[in-house]
Chain A
Amino acid sequence: MRALLIALLRRLLMIVPVLWAVVTLVFLLIHLVPGDPARQLVGENATEEQVQKVRADLGLDKPLLTQYTDYWTGLFQGDWGENPVTRQGVFTRISSRYPATIKLTLASMLIAILISIPLGVTAATHRGTFIDGLSTFTALLGISLPSFALGPLLILIFSVELGIAPVSGGGGLANLILPSITLGAALSAILTRIVRSSVLEELGEDYVRTARAKGLLERTVVYKHVLKNGLIPVVTVLGLQFGVLLAGAIITERIFSWPGVGSLLVDSINERDYKLTQGCILVIAATYVLVNTATDIAYRFLDPRIKTD
């Protein structure tokens, strides 16, 4: 138990350098802008005074090290900067959008689980048959079909033609259906393949033979015994894929005009609101790091065979 706690503590401490690297990378992004970011923001026709003012607002007139320490201080104090033109605060704008993104990501994860487990298990228990081939093909199709083609297709079929699902734009549960299917499709495909191979591996284990010899129903063997062990790799992948979903949400939110951080990020890029872009990237990346760490910890609890060192 002590070894496990030390391992957990060590894993938690590992977040510190990673988050430091993430914040530093995000801070440095603005310095990638070719030319003068302040000039880019106010446009070519602005006067030199206007450019100077925006440069001061963005803090770009200070030495790099001072900008860096100011950036850290601002992060801790909730002062993530503001748009030099509209004066809207970055932190306020992001925090108002963040719940919508998390809601969409979690819903798409749920959809992916609901689709992949029965599909993966069926493929594994029918290995080499037509059903297996079909599930593998569906999974490959899910990975290959881009969300920005699937999304409009779903809207066309279910909203425009059949009229059974709203086009979205945020709001209640019904508005969540099409965006979460769109975002979760690729994950369903990946999970289906993992569930399939994981269940296949477990089906060859001794305990399965024992369970069958006891005279248990095949259904009980698969869903009660095999699936329990077979789901361990699925949990890890789910955690790692949460970040991929968060990033994928940027595109899905744009398709469905979903009011989340992803669509805010795209707006900020189009408006050249660099501070807001930095803030959105930071929030998505930090969430990714935290979820990955949580997954790693959950994985250790789920599978005691994992070494604690």
Chain B
Amino acid sequence: MNLTAKIGLGIIGLMVLLAALSPVLASWDKVQRQELTSRLESPDSKHWMGRDQLGRDVMTRIIYGARVSMLVGLSVVSISATIGVMLGAMAGYKGGWTDRIVSNFLFNVFLSFPGILLAIAMVAFLGPSIKNLIIALSVIGWVGYARLMRAQVLKVREYDFVQAARALGANDLRILIRHILPNSIQPLIIQASLGMAGMILAEAGLSFLGLGVPEPIPSWGKMIDDSREFWFTAPHLFIFPGVMIALSVLAFNFLGDGLREMLDPKQRPR
């Protein structure tokens, strides 16, 4: 694993730890506690990231924001990868009408929308909530995995060991799960890592537009939007959440790029 991938993995580890340990690091009560007399206070030794427009501790909200980012990112990637792998594998393995419906029709329809627009549209009409956010982002996320899986299956199904398994009498499901999937998993892992970066960004973007997680749950994107009137008098209100989003996205991009380089020798620098 190269250095950037290791750095990425390190940052991701810290983020996951932050998300998992948030109730231990700060109480939920502190997330909501307003002290209007101390509003917009700059960072100091007591409040390392300052206070927001309602006098709440920014650092506590950042810590709890990590939970939302990781929860939404992981859920969306798991759901969309599962759906995508199943549909892509089916289309690639079965071929014929199944393939035509999935790759010619479904792929075209979903790719004819800019993904984030479809997510905005869905949340706008379904209403903002973490559940709807995960649904909307999964609806736009599965296509990438499905296309990748279909391409992998088309390649792997022609290999000798698959033919041998078929000759030995293995059924389709066994061939797919035991032989094709393990040999197609590498690019999927890379896609999942880059997908996490995209979904963290999408969650923050939707929350910035007021279409993400509802109050009182803190989200990094929403923290930036909530403080828009104070961006120039109290820049710490957008800088800290912005840095956290950028760091998380950068870490997953680093990891994805590093994994690609590690797993695909053609990508290695000469």
- A residues engaging B (CB < 8 A)? 17-18, 21-22, 25-26, 29-30, 32-34, 127-128, 140-141, 143-150, 152-153, 155-156, 160, 243-244, 246-248, 250-251, 254, 265-266, 269-270, 274, 277, 281, 284-285, 288-289, 292
Chain B contacts for A128, CB-based, 8 A = 269-270
Q: Are B254 and A248 in contact (CB-based, < 8 A)?
A: no
Interface class of chain B by DSSP = helix
Chain B contacts for A277, CB-based, 8 A = 121, 124-125
Q: Are A144 and B197 in contact (CB-based, < 8 A)?
A: yes
Cβ contacts B30-65/A at 8 Å (1 or 0 each): 000000000000000000000000000000000000
Interface class of chain A by DSSP = helix
Interface locus among B82-90, B151-159, B164-172, B245-253 = B245-253
Contact with A149, one of B125, B126, B246, B250 (Cβ below 8 angstroms): B246
Answer whether residue B23 sits at the interface, using C-beta atoms and an 8 A cutoff.
Answer: no
Answer whether residue B28 sits at the interface, using C-beta atoms and an 8 A cutoff.
Answer: no
Chain A contacts for B102, CB-based, 8 A = none
Cβ contacts B201-234/A at 8 Å (1 or 0 each): 1001100111100000000010011001001100
- B residues engaging A (CB < 8 A)? 108-109, 112-118, 120-122, 124-127, 197, 201, 204-205, 208-211, 221, 224-225, 228, 231-232, 235, 238-239, 241-243, 245-247, 249-250, 253-254, 257, 269-270
Q: Are B232 and A160 in contact (CB-based, < 8 A)?
A: yes
Return 12 A-B CB contacts under 8 Å, by A number: A18-B112, A25-B109, A145-B242, A145-B246, A254-B209, A265-B120, A269-B124, A270-B210, A285-B112, A285-B113, A285-B117, A288-B114
Contact with B231, one of A25, A29, A144, A152 (Cβ below 8 angstroms): A152
Which of A33, A34, A281 has its CB near the most chain B CB atoms (within 10 A)? A281
Chain A contacts for B245, CB-based, 8 A = 146, 149
Once A266-B209, A277-B121 are accepted as A-B contacts, the answer to whether A149 and B109 lie under 8 Å apart by CB is no
In whole angstroms, what is the CA distance A265 to B127 when docked? 15
Closest B residue, CB atoms, query A167: B232
Closest A residue, CB atoms, query B267: A197
Chain B contacts for A248, CB-based, 8 A = 116
With both chains docked as a complex, state the minimum distance between the C-beta of A21 and any C-beta of chain B, in angstroms: 4
Chain B contacts for A247, CB-based, 8 A = 114-117, 120
With both chains docked as a complex, state the minimum distance between the C-beta of A142 and any C-beta of chain B, in angstroms: 10
Contact with A155, one of B115, B120, B231, B257 (Cβ below 8 angstroms): B231
